[in-house]
Chains A and B, each alone.
Chain A
């Protein structure tokens, strides 16, 4: 995996996460949505709800854990990107949710509705 020609660890993790979520009934719509103000690893649909997924991948356990790696700054980039995505696709008014998928030492953990958005934001 240290070879640069192979997909990066992050990309590998995203694919693992996408497979994992599709097994559980979510439909993956988009991969790696990226703007200069933020980015989203996976965008899925869970029935009527749009789900924005942040994937954190580690090859092994170490401190601080992957969960701590989602800093407030990282979260804000996620929110901004999600808002611009909803605008772009004209999805205003649909319900949405933020999930977190942690892959640590090949063990996958899925945390639906992992964080709430800033209370002041609307789109």
Chain B
């Protein structure tokens, strides 16, 4: 009269096993769920009763108690429905399974007994696949996203009846899921680099940014192509791999924003409007949910009109920019979400936008400019490796012949080559190190040694321009990437000189 069945729920990105115990006692017919269920779990009651009846079984008129253990863990979501239903069928002896595989049960029930896909199936399955001998019963609707995982057995089902037939059939074959070979979706490149006129320096900065994972800030008057450049970035980033797709998709899966089945077909590109709140950007809520920076994990976060963003939102970016993860703590729970994204920001040089424009006159007062630029704090700027100024196009550039400009495809080839060099170099690192931008101090010393000539230049630059220690490190990282783009083993003076070049906000006293 008692049945035990295993299910799981998510805490952040980690799976927590949950024992679903069903006890049928004599007494007043009733049905209660205990073990800190939230509203959606408590509502499982009505779904389960209807699903069992509509599948053709009788719901026991007994005192049904469902316990979700451990009792101190808050359970949320509808993913326990299937486990509860199967547990009740077992406890009431409505079914007598011929097989009882050791597995975890996951699925939301519809009133007619069909099994609906659940939120967060991918992170759950991925976390379980790291444990030995895991098997998972899951909704067929979630199969596509988890089928690329290895090390986990999957049993997908469409409805409760299918589950019962599977448990009953003795020799019938188990539903086998082959891990399908994954192919990224077709790239959708809105803008090709060759379509952007002029801005050679900004294009170069974009290439370095893509090659080494460096954050980039573009400063320029309106209409110089800042947004176009940002849109061209996905086209030169390295190809979308399965590992990256899994990393990114699991965050989207938790947030419940996956469009269509399966993994994200391409790198996420998030461009939140500047009215975004700090919580929406970073993640949060009663039970912490991922924000824009986590949805941009392994992808691009484009912040257009950077000074227009709320200051608290911008300042809160500092820590995730440095660490690649964000810890969110709330009264009802805490979560850690990955937030390893490439930050691309764009801004005007002043409120009217025309400071430094060759033809138009800027109307802004000094105080206004200072206030505008001052919205972006030094610590945040320090974390932006590449700062590049865009100038308004002149007539010749506007009528420039198109074929001179390099296409995204050829830039991408260079970027991928530089990435391959980095991967090879950092392969034996203890902590996973992906690109130059994420070098930590000790590794920085090991990999970013430069020639004495370079040292002289850097010394002079630090002395004259007053770089902070962090800015100094950033320059070395950028120089490393520039050297990698040339496939040069050592960092030469010219690499360092170019890297210094991309710190225009540090260089200019007038800002």
Assess the A116–B28 pair: CB atoms within 8 A.
Answer: yes
User: Which of the residues B28, B31, B62 comes within 8 Å of A121, measured between beta carbons?
Assistant: B28
The CA of A82 and the CA of B30, in the complex, are separated in Å by 14
Assess the B30–A95 pair: CB atoms within 8 A.
Answer: no
The CA of A93 and the CA of B26, in the complex, are separated in Å by 5
Can you report 7 A-B residue pairs in the complex whose CB atoms are below 8 A from each other? Answer: A79-B28, A83-B28, A96-B27, A113-B61, A116-B29, A116-B31, A121-B30
Assess the B29–A98 pair: CB atoms within 8 A.
Answer: yes
Query: Any chain B CB within 8 A of the CB of A71?
Result: no
Query: Any chain A CB within 8 A of the CB of B32?
Result: yes
Assess the A97–B29 pair: CB atoms within 8 A.
Answer: yes
The A-B contact count (CB < 8 A) is: 44
Dominant SS among interface residues on chain A: loop
Which chain A positions have C-beta within 8 A of B59?
A: 113
Dominant SS among interface residues on chain B: loop
**Separation in Å of the B92 CB from the closest CB of chain A?**
11
Query: Any chain B CB within 8 A of the CB of A123?
Result: yes
Binary CB contact string for chain A from 80 to 123 against chain B (1 if under 8 A, 0 otherwise): 00110000000001111110000000000000010011110111
Knowing that A98-B29, A113-B59, A122-B27 touch, tell me 14 more A-B residue pairs with CB under 8 angstroms: A79-B28, A83-B28, A95-B61, A96-B61, A97-B61, A116-B28, A116-B31, A117-B63, A118-B30, A119-B31, A121-B28, A122-B28, A123-B27, A123-B28
Assess the B26–A117 pair: CB atoms within 8 A.
Answer: no
Assess the B28–A117 pair: CB atoms within 8 A.
Answer: yes
Interface on B for A, CB 8 Å cutoff? 26-32, 59, 61-63
The CA of A113 and the CA of B61, in the complex, are separated in Å by 7
- By size class, the interface of chain A is 10 to 19
Query: Any chain B CB within 8 A of the CB of A65?
Result: no
Which chain A positions have C-beta within 8 A of B61?
A: 49, 95-97, 113, 116
The CA of A86 and the CA of B288, in the complex, are separated in Å by 49
The CA of A93 and the CA of B27, in the complex, are separated in Å by 7
Which chain B positions have C-beta within 8 A of A49?
A: 61
Most chain A beta-carbon neighbours within 10 Å: one of B29, B30, B32, B63:
B29
Which chain A positions have C-beta within 8 A of B31?
A: 116, 119
The CA of A16 and the CA of B63, in the complex, are separated in Å by 30
**Separation in Å of the A121 CB from the closest CB of chain B?**
5
Assess the B30–A116 pair: CB atoms within 8 A.
Answer: yes
Assess the A119–B30 pair: CB atoms within 8 A.
Answer: yes
Assess the B30–A96 pair: CB atoms within 8 A.
Answer: no
The CA of A94 and the CA of B62, in the complex, are separated in Å by 10
The CA of A9 and the CA of B31, in the complex, are separated in Å by 35
Which chain A positions have C-beta within 8 A of B29?
A: 96-98, 113, 116-117
The CA of A95 and the CA of B62, in the complex, are separated in Å by 7
The CA of A24 and the CA of B31, in the complex, are separated in Å by 27
The CA of A117 and the CA of B31, in the complex, are separated in Å by 9
Which chain A positions have C-beta within 8 A of B30?
A: 116-119, 121
Assess the A121–B32 pair: CB atoms within 8 A.
Answer: no
Which chain A positions have C-beta within 8 A of B27?
A: 96, 117, 121-123
Which chain B positions have C-beta within 8 A of A118?
A: 28, 30
